[in-house]
Copies of this chain bind each other. A is one copy, B any other.
Amino acid sequence: MPAAAPRADNRLPLVLDAAARLFRERGYAVTSMRDIAADSGMLAGSLYYHFASKEDLLVAVYAEGVKRITAAVEEALRAPGEPWERLERVCAAHLSALLDDSDYGQVVIRVRPDDVPDVARRLAELRNGYERLFARAVDALPLARKADRRALRLMLLGALNWSQTWYRSGQDSPAAIARRFVRLLHGSTL
């Protein structure tokens, strides 16, 4: 019997889920601890048993978001295939995590690190950690010139992330969007 076993009725994950959903739906600044508490079936004060501050709660959600996107993209990277194919799979995975899979991934895009000055650096580091992973998929491409590689990465990632703005589920699937975006770049770099 492990000593530190969490209780069965631990509601921390519930809190995290509620926060993720609200941060994604409305944004960080505009979501109150009371909102989150109400959605977790608790009182506002009770949240502080689990998280020392609203900012800490955001960091936890954000970290979970990065973790999920990372996991999805790592899996896509592992599968065999030709570099452009792999990039397409990576983009599809990235988009899925951002648009469909859960609130956590969307928070990573929606909440800007500098919206929350006190933890901006921690958030930025989490995001950068992930972006290095994405860069690996671009580095593997057989490109002619080096400068193009950075531009291609920034362009692709920007386009994917911005998709949150216009994406409506039901129409184009993440995979379809990823395919179209990657193909737009493919021919041009031959």
Cα distance, A188 to B180, chains bound together (Å): 12
Contacts of A6 in B (CB 8 A): none
- The total of chain A residues at the interface (CB under 8 A) is 34
- B184 engages A187 (CB within 8 Å): no
- Give the contacts of A31-86 with B (CB-CB under 8 A): none
- Residues of chain B lying within 8 A (CB to CB) of residue A188: 183-189
Q: Is the interface of A mostly helix, strand, loop or mixed?
A: helix
Q: How far is the CB of A46 from chain B (nearest CB, A)?
A: 14
Which of B115, B148, B156, B165 is close to A27, meaning CB atoms less than 8 Å apart? B115
User: Footprint of B on A, CB under 8 Å?
Assistant: 26-27, 29-30, 112, 114-115, 147-148, 151-152, 154-163, 165-166, 177, 180-181, 183-190
Q: Check if A184 sits within 8 Å of B180, measured CB to CB.
A: no
Q: How far is the CA of A181 from the CA of B188 in the complex (A)?
A: 11
